[in-house]
Structure 1
Amino acid sequence: FASIFFQEPKSMMDNIIQRHEEEKMAVIIMELIGQQNEQRFYPTFSGVAQSYNYYPVSYMKREEGIAFVALGLGRTIVDGGKSLRFSPKYPNILPQYYSIRSTTQNSQHEFFALDLNNGESPLTGGESENLKSYLLNDAESDGVLKHLASVVSSNDNVIRDSLKYDGTRVLTFASILKFKRIPLAEIINRLLDLGTIALGCPVEIEFAVNLSDNKDIPDEFCLLQIKPMVIGGMQTTDLLTEESPEDILCKSDLVLGDGINQQIQHIIYVDPDSFDRSKTREIAEEIEVLNKKLGKDNPYMLIGPGRWGSSDPWLGVPVNWRQIANAKVIVEVGMDKLNPDPSFGSHFFQNVTSLQIGYFTISKRDHEKNVDWNWLANFTEKEQTTHLRLLELKHPLFVRIDGSKGEGLILKPKPPKQEQMDEELSSGI
């Protein structure tokens, strides 16, 4: 209850007209949801659900919501760790698990639990002091993992929804989402609908679930918190038409993400005039080299034909995430003989969503009018490879994405406006 006297809240309050000693704060003490296993305490799984989904795929709609679930305490989700993402309207569509390899890479590998054997002063270092990370082996020995995991069989490399097989354990939540041990998706949908009606706005909920091995003890769903969801949409009705056409580098009405980015001063793009579908593997290698040269401190915009990350090199450039890890905006463009259905980044969907990458899709029909190829071609490149051009801009691009509509545009760089003194407001000094 004395936290308002710590330095962090005091620094924040320096910007408001209020004395520290006059500040009042409520204290809520909640029971931790979970079950004791050995010297650790944790729920079977925890989750977060939101009314709005900024990264819909397939036939999902943004207003149908999104949920994240993870074994153990919810800190895994809050800290941005690996969790399972699904739409409660379509719980069987799991884009981050599009292949066996992606399933093993994107599955949760560790979980958080309350350490019941951590000394006499468990709160000395805050919550990080009494929460401990454990491996899936610990959850399996506790008898908890069997409720949530499947196995990538070492015999035939097929996912089996039982831990009786030898192989890699992966968190698929098959017993919940596929076999419906509890109606999780229905519960989430109902709570999101009720919360939206009650609060009058999109909401976010946090929950925890205990699954029981005892037939006399029912499974338990616990609603921990419900609050208004912060929506960072552009709040503009004509996002794609209010700007002058000559100022627009790229625009699309098929965009994933939300918000504004003004930090990108590099562009890597595949030259459409010299693009050769038979050279996509070479293009991927060239991108990897440029990505490494730019590094983490130089985020860039990546533009290219077809599907990024496609396993079929004839449908697009078969990059993996490591090769494009510093891209902050990705544009996939349909071109002649290369106009597959939008991928929406499904080949590295976990990274696109967790890192909040802006993902633009432009159809073959619109690519000439929705991308200013002439501006790109006339810009002097910093570096050119066999198939790519790297541009370095003096001023950043202006990226705007309205996540509520799935619309986005990228404005060409402009020098910052000089602030001019208003003579009417001048003191005359």
Structure 2
Amino acid sequence: MELGASDRVQEDKLARYFSWDPLKDARFSGSVVGEGHIGGKGRSLLFGMKVLRDSGDEELASVEMPESIFISVEVFEEFLEQIKDLNDIIKSDPDEIEKVFLAYELPPYVRQRLASFLSEVNFPVAVRSSSLLEDSLKYSFAGKYRSRLLHAEGDLARRTLLVENEIKRIYARTFFPTAVEYRCKHGLGDDKMGIILMRAAGEWRGRYYFPTTAGVGYSLNLRRWSTRLKAEDGLIRLVFGLGTMSTRRGYARIFSLTNPCLRPEGYNPYNVMRHAQECFQMIDGIKGDVVTYNINDPGVLDYLWKYYGKELGEYVQVYREEDEKGYWENLDLTYSKYNVDDTSKVCITFERFTKHNYDFFKRMRKLLGCLEHSIGAPVDVEFAYEPKAKKLELLQARPLWVESQTVNLDDANLIGKTIILKADRMVTDGQAKGIPYLIYVDHKIYVTATNKYEIARIIGEINKKLGPNQYILVAPGRVGSSNPALGVPIQYNELTNCKCIVEVGIPTLGFMPELSYGTHFYSDLEVDNVLYMPVFAGEKDNVFNEDWFESTPCERLPGLGIRIYKGNFDVYMSCAKNVGIVVAGEDERNGKDMDNR
């Protein structure tokens, strides 16, 4: 098929992006250690900084990148040459691989460069992977390798050794089963590892180091929660504290960059409270590692007020219950009266931040648009932002893989089929027909289950028994949550044969789906073309057909709340209409044991 003019322009831009070499740019070459490629994550970040500095826009040119050095993949190869019997060692278990790698040293010139960097940057640092395959347009490798935030007190030699060991641990991860299986699954070969050593974004606030806000941003929003939004508006996922919370399936604030006050969860105080961030992360200067606190923990609000004062009210509100209804109160100078009791909860809602920082949202939209225009593809970024100083730091920038198919729901063949699930928001284009199995987690059993992790592992075992694209998973709350109270804590590698995930919101039980843009879980869904949609039980234009689930024959796993339905299921999703449906057709296999399939 002949390419159109706009397609050729996009291809030319992508070609320039992939061929750009930071070693040939005097502004960046001095930060590279070794020769050759610095890996995808490092090269794309430097390309992003090049684009912003060359943009001619003062707001964009003022975006900063924390002090960094980039260690090339040549150093990785040089390191591996020392290891005897490498081919046998990499077949060992992960602990043994790491133990062997830690026993060898990095080249002397690299260790000297690490010491030089750390002597100038006496702050917490991020040690991040940057492999060759992370330069792929399609494969994100999110969460497959290792990145670490840390802080070391003591003399320079001790700090250097700590960072050197982290680099060797990242090298070892290249050969861990998780990464090897991911590469094999997608037909990718061996990988080579570069490293980014970067000052961690943030400031010291007493004992702890963290940025006020951080998050991820996307130039394209394919999961719109309102017809008032357009895909090209873009979105960000923002958290208070370290941005590590924004890449997990915890709560974060989702903003459309053209309409930041439009919440995906709506404006009901209870629903906002259920979606609001409570836990945040900081680097502990004494422990030297990342720590997690809940803002409702004793003493935490006092600590934050000490360093933020009235500014804290930009991010934090107090939720109170009264007569079975909830309402919000803002923090003010007499915040001490808001002691948390059984009827109140402190939440990070970003309510006032949203109203007082429209310039930030405009700046982020401009930044994402500039990068997309220059790269020739949609982009995603990681960033940190200090609102008071208006200091924006770019931590990562890369092309965003988008694969979509046009679906016309009017053409969907629904004759003789039953709609069992329907969503009215946050759906992309996609369809899947003839799926033979549906795995359902009963919310009534799951909510009181004491074996939630066992439930997740059992689903993983069922997954192994089924072939590719063989089932739909329907579960309450957020699938893959690190907090089992919020949803089934299943790992993505336990869902390798899943074709569609449906998260069911049951607000009365505390189960709420959440737009997972920016998380490692979401990145894997996109790469593997796994369909996803949230269904909000009881809400207008949503369908959770409990009658079907209760009356249809199935295989039930006692005590686990897991049901396995056999049938003929179709999924249709339309981004233009913001509608997704799952339908069930007649099938004679219903009620038969899965092992006899």
Q: CA 1:81–1:141 in structure 2 vs 1: closer, same or farther (change >3 Å)?
A: farther
**CA displacement 1:54-101 (0-9 Å, x = unmatched):** 141262233322221111110111112221112111112224362333
Indicate if the aligned counterparts of 1:257 and 1:403 stay in contact, CA closer than 8 A: yes
Aligned-partner residue type, residue 230 of structure 2: K
Cα distance change, pair 350–62 in 1 and its aligned pair in 2 (3 A): farther
Letter in 2 for 1:99: N
Greater CA drift, 193-202 or 406-415? 406-415
Check 1:265–1:252 CA distance in 2 against 1; reply closer, same or farther (3 A cut): closer
Give me the whole-angstrom Cα distance separating, in 1, the residues matched to 2:545 and 2:279.
45
Structure 1 residue 45 and structure 2 residue 187: aligned?
no
Q: Which amino acid aligns with 1:116?
A: G
Matched letter for residue 152 of structure 1:
V
How far the C-alpha of 1:256 sits from its partner, in A, is 3.2
The match for 1:359 is 535
State how 1:21-420 maps to structure 2 within 5 Å.
24-50=192-218, 51-57=220-226, 59-96=228-265, 98-118=267-287, 130-136=289-295, 137=300, 138-143=303-308, 146=312, 148-152=314-318, 157-160=327-330, 162=332, 164-165=334-335, 166-167=337-338, 168-180=345-357, 183-212=359-388, 218-231=389-402, 233=404, 235-238=405-408, 241=411, 243=413, 245-246=415-416, 249=419, 254-258=424-428, 264-265=438-439, 288=444, 329=502, 351-354=513-516, 357-359=533-535, 393-395=565-567, 397-403=569-575, 406-412=578-584
- Per-residue CA distance 1:127-149 (angstroms, 9 max, x = gap): xxx21113432333332761633
| Contact 2:537-2:544 at 8 Å conserved across structures | no
Shift of 1:397: 2.8
Q: Deviations over 1:392-414 (max 9, x none)?
A: 73246343434466343434356
User: After the TM superposition, which of the residue ranges 345-354 and 165-174 deviates more from structure 2?
Assistant: 345-354
CA distance in 1, matches of 2:321, 2:447: 37
Counterpart-to-counterpart distance in 1, 2:548 and 2:506? 23
Partner Cα separation in structure 1 for residue 487 and residue 172 of structure 2 = 44
Residue 199 of structure 2 aligns to a residue in which SS? coil
Return the alpha-carbon distance in structure 1 between the equivalents of residues 201 and 246 of structure 2.
Answer: 16
Is residue 427–residue 579 contact of structure 2 (8 Å, CA) maintained in 1?
A: no
| Partner of residue 11, structure 2 | none
CA RMSD, 1 decimal: 5.0
Q: Distance in 1 between matches of 2:413 and 2:328?
A: 51
Shift of the 301–207 alpha-carbon distance from structure 1 to 2, 3 Å rule, reads closer
Identity across aligned pairs (percent)? Answer: 18
| SS in structure 2 of the partner of residue 141 of structure 1 | helix
Could you list the runs of 5+ residues in structure 1 that have no partner in the other structure? 123-129, 213-217, 269-286, 303-321, 332-343, 384-390, 417-429
| Alpha carbons of structure 1 residues 47 and 267: separation in structure 2 relative to 1, 3 Å | closer
Q: Residue type matched to 1:256 in 2?
A: M
TM-score when normalising by structure 2: 0.45
Shift of 1:117: 1.6
Code of the residue aligned with 1:131 in structure 2: it is V
CA distance in 2, matches of 1:371, 1:135: 33
Deviations 1:369-428 (A, max 9, x none): x9999x969x75569xxxxxxx97324634343446634343435689xxxxxxxxxxxx
Tell me, which stretches of 5 or more residues in structure 2 are unaligned? 1-75, 77-167, 339-344, 460-471, 476-484, 490-499, 522-531, 556-562, 590-597
State the alpha-carbon separation in 2 of the partners of residues 205 and 301 from structure 1. 30
Distance 1:363 1:164, change over 3 A: closer
The separation in 2 between residues aligned to 1:324 and 1:134, in whole angstroms, is 20
Q: Could you tell me how far 1:221 is from its partner in structure 2?
A: 1.3
Tell me, yes or no, if the aligned pair for 2:554 and 2:565 is still in contact at 8 Å: no
- Amino acid across the alignment from 2:267: Y
Aligned equivalents of 1:108, 1:99: Cα separation in 2: 16
How far apart are the structure 1 equivalents of 2:208 and 2:582? 49
SS in 2 for 1:49: strand
User: Are the counterparts in 2 of residues 264 and 396 from structure 1 also a CA contact under 8 Å?
Assistant: no
State the SS of the aligned residue for 2:194. Answer: coil
Aligned residues: 338
Segment of structure 1 superposing worse, 102-111 or 185-194: 102-111
- What amino acid is aligned across from residue 224 of structure 1 in structure 2? L
More helix by share: 2
Contact 1:152–1:169 under 8 Å retained in 2: yes
Change (3 A) 1:133 1:163: farther
The 1:28–1:48 alpha-carbon spacing in structure 2 relative to 1, beyond 3 Å, is same
Q: 1:139 aligns to what SS in structure 2?
A: helix
CA distance in 2: counterparts of 1:400 and 1:62, whole angstroms: 19
Deviation at 1:10, TM superposition (A): 4.7
Q: Deviations over 1:181-219 (max 9, x none)?
A: x6111112112222222222222121101244xxxxx33
Distance 1:266 1:11 in 2: 27
**Which residue of the partner structure matches residue 129 of structure 2?**
none
Instruction: Report the CA distance between 1:36 and its aligned residue.
Output: 0.4
Taking structure 1 as reference, are residues 192 and 163 closer, same or farther at Cα in structure 2, changes over 3 Å only? farther
Structure 1 contact 111–135 (Cα < 8 Å) conserved: yes
